[in-house]
Amino acid sequence: SSEEVLLLDPSHVSLRVRALPDEAVPALESRKNLEMLFFSDGNAVMESRITDRGLCELSRLSLPRLRLLDLGYCRKISDRGISCLPALTGVRRLGLLGCPGVSGEGLRSLRRMDGLVELDLRGCEVTDADIYNLRRMQNLERIQLGGCRKVTSDGVRRLQRQMPNTRVEKDEREWSFHQ
């Protein structure tokens, strides 16, 4: 809840907030030192409560030091919520592991996140054409695509050729550990 967020030690730079509901997201703005925000941790125990509305609320907050946003296994988010994320200009690492509501439309909006260096799309509903749209994101150092059933090895090679300085990975063996 909002009250619980406000009670946390303000020196913490990392928060695990899987149980945080949309209506409590504005309380995160009091955490000016926040660098890492994990909605992913605890996915085996409970469903994440954040939705598209919460993501859009998060994107309106002033979180100047936020560098990592992990939305892994947040099954209530979709392309609509992802489209709000480019407003978080300081985010360098974005985790969307196991988010089935994320597809090509969401990826198109992520292209506006110039500062991203790492993008985890494992288990998302993206295609070869969708990932090819990432080729202009030349600051990306790593893209993870394991579990993206509609991404082929040809699609990965094509993107890798366009992004020679980026590690484009599709490791199905590694992905099997997440299911």
* Predicted confidence (pLDDT) at residue 109 exceeds the cutoff of 60: yes
Among residues 141, 90, 95, the alpha carbon closest in space to that of 113 is found at: 90
> What's the rounded mean pLDDT across residues 78-89?
96
For residue range 1-16, list pLDDT tens digits in order: 566 766 667 778 999 9
Give φ, ψ of 127 to 5 degrees.
-115, 175
For the question of whether the overall pTM of this predicted structure is more than 0.95, the answer is no
pLDDT at 21: 94
* Predicted confidence (pLDDT) at residue 169 exceeds the cutoff of 70: yes
Q: What is the mean pLDDT of the chain?
A: 91
